[in-house]
Every structure is written in structure tokens, then in C-alpha cells.
Amino acid sequence: MTESTDVAETENEAGAFDSLGRDDYLKESIINELNWDPRIDAAHVCVTSENGTVTLTGYVSAYPEIFQIREAVCRLRGVRAIADELQVRLRDADKRDDNTLAGNVAAILDSIATVEDSRLQASVSNGSVLLTGEVDWQYQRKHLEDQVAWLKGVRCVVNRVELRKRQLPDDLQDQIQAALARNAELAGTHINVTIEDDVLILSGQVTAFYERNLVEATAWQAPGVKRIIDRIQVI
């Protein structure tokens, strides 16, 4: 029964490709997905696609919606790259002056900072928040950005927080390859991992954009990595 369903879905997609063209079909799929996700108000979002490269234009009313839209687009088959040109137009009730917003950002820094994180800093200009400083792990860097992004009045977050330099394990390359191999969602992918100083270079091919993001997220869990260069192709 499952096999019949899969065949039917494949045949339906093939028919849609023939009648609409791949880019038109992908555009329609993205619009349907955005409208399906209850977190997203896509009324003012425009979507175009060319050879699997999706361009998003228009505006949203809150900064986190941009991430939710990107997440939804990444889920779809056929997406090879995303050009995000979305803007934030805050509702009047959500607007905050820079002094108020800076105080709210500072409260977040105080709530999550340890002694080692005491150099975390933020500056605010016209609703754009610049984060600087150092943390140990990428997840800490991302958590800080996520916390700030949800504040009322934020139009943009520029995250320039760096990762502290740490000693790389001798077998780090093997550890990363093993972590990728354990992940069921990455079965069948072929990823190459090379290390130059504290920079991790990822290459290879995947069949979906979300797999590319998943490989990168897995690699960021490795100790000592300060930077990742992602050269993975979506085919």
C-alpha cells in the first residue's frame, strides 16, 4: 500500500512538471507550503524560481517569520538555493525605540551570560541589532541570536559573535563522518570533510536543501570548529 502511494505521488509530480514546468511547479509548491504553515503569514511574500534557485521578496511583520519561511522552503523537493530578500515592516504595536530595544537585548545577555561570556555585547541602530563577543559553541551563538530575534522591535540581527579557539581532536574528521553516518535522514548522501587549521570544509552532494543544512548543523557540533565552508551541492 505504501509503495502504491509513493508511485502515485511520483506520477502526479511528473504530470505537474509536464504541465507547469519545474520552476512553476516548485513556485506553486512553495506558496502552498507557506499557506499551509500556521506560523506564517505569507500574504505579502512573493516567490520566484529559476532552475531551482528560489528568490523570496516582499515583507513580513516580524523578524522570526523570515526564518520560518526559509525553513518551510528548505523542506521542499527541488529547492537548490535560496535568495532571501525579505524585509521586515513592523506593526505599530511592535515598534520600539532603540534605547528600549537595547535595554531588552542587554537583559537577554545578562540572563544567559557566564563569567566567560562577559564580553558579549550588543548595539542597536534603527531596530538592527549587532551582536559581538565570544562563546564556546555554535549552539550558544545560535541560541543568543534566536533569543534576540524574538524581541519586539527587532528588524534584523547581525550575529558577529565568534567561537573561542580550542584544540581540535586528532580524530575530528572521523568523528564528524561517524556523526553524519549515524543520521538516518542523511542515508545515501556522500559528504567529504576536510580540515584546514580550525576551518571545516564540507563538499559532496545531497538531494534536498534541508539535507545540506542538516549536514552543516551536524558538523557545527564538532569541538574546536570556528568556521565552516559549505560547498555541498544540491542535485
- What pLDDT does residue 235 have? 84
> Are residue 142 and residue 199 in the same domain, yes or no?
no
- What pLDDT does residue 203 have? 96
Ordered alpha helix ranges (H), 80-200: 98-112, 138-149, 172-182
- CATH number, domain containing residue 113: 3.30.1340.30
SS3 of residue 97 by DSSP:
coil
Q: Give yes or no for residue 1 having a pLDDT over 90.
A: no
> Are residue 154 and residue 213 in the same domain, yes or no?
no
> Are residue 55 and residue 128 in the same domain, yes or no?
no
> Are residue 23 and residue 81 in the same domain, yes or no?
yes
pLDDT digits (tens, 9 = 90+) for 14-69: 555 544 688 999 999 999 999 999 999 999 999 999 999 999 999 999 999 999 99
> Are residue 132 and residue 65 in the same domain, yes or no?
no
- Which residues neighbour 81 within 8 Å (Cβ) at sequence distance 6 or greater? 52, 53, 54, 209, 234
Cα–Cα distance measured from residue 194 to residue 213, given in angstroms and rounded to the nearest whole number: 17
> Are residue 183 and residue 211 in the same domain, yes or no?
yes
pLDDT digits (tens, 9 = 90+) for 185-235: 998 888 999 998 889 999 999 989 999 999 999 999 999 889 999 999 998
- What pLDDT does residue 118 have? 62
> Are residue 156 and residue 194 in the same domain, yes or no?
no
> Are residue 121 and residue 185 in the same domain, yes or no?
no
- By mean pLDDT, which of 11-25, 72-86, 90-104, 200-214 is the weakest? 11-25
- Which residues neighbour 24 within 8 Å (Cβ) at sequence distance 6 or greater? 49
> Are residue 26 and residue 77 in the same domain, yes or no?
yes
Q: Give yes or no for residue 178 having a pLDDT over 50.
A: yes
- What pLDDT does residue 4 have? 37
**The domain boundary residue, chosen from 63, 88, 113:** 88
- CATH number, domain containing residue 59: 3.30.300
**The domain boundary residue, chosen from 34, 64, 88:** 88
- By mean pLDDT, which of 2-11, 74-83, 97-106 is the weakest? 2-11
- Cα atoms in the Cβ-side hemisphere of radius 13 Å centred on 49: 21
- What pLDDT does residue 201 have? 96
> Are residue 32 and residue 66 in the same domain, yes or no?
yes
Domain count, the chain: 3
**The domain boundary residue, chosen from 62, 88, 114:** 88
> Are residue 84 and residue 9 in the same domain, yes or no?
yes
The residue segments making up the domain with residue 208 are 172-234
Q: Give yes or no for residue 6 having a pLDDT over 50.
A: no
pLDDT digits (tens, 9 = 90+) for 103-143: 999 999 988 866 555 689 999 999 999 999 999 899 999 99
> Are residue 69 and residue 100 in the same domain, yes or no?
no
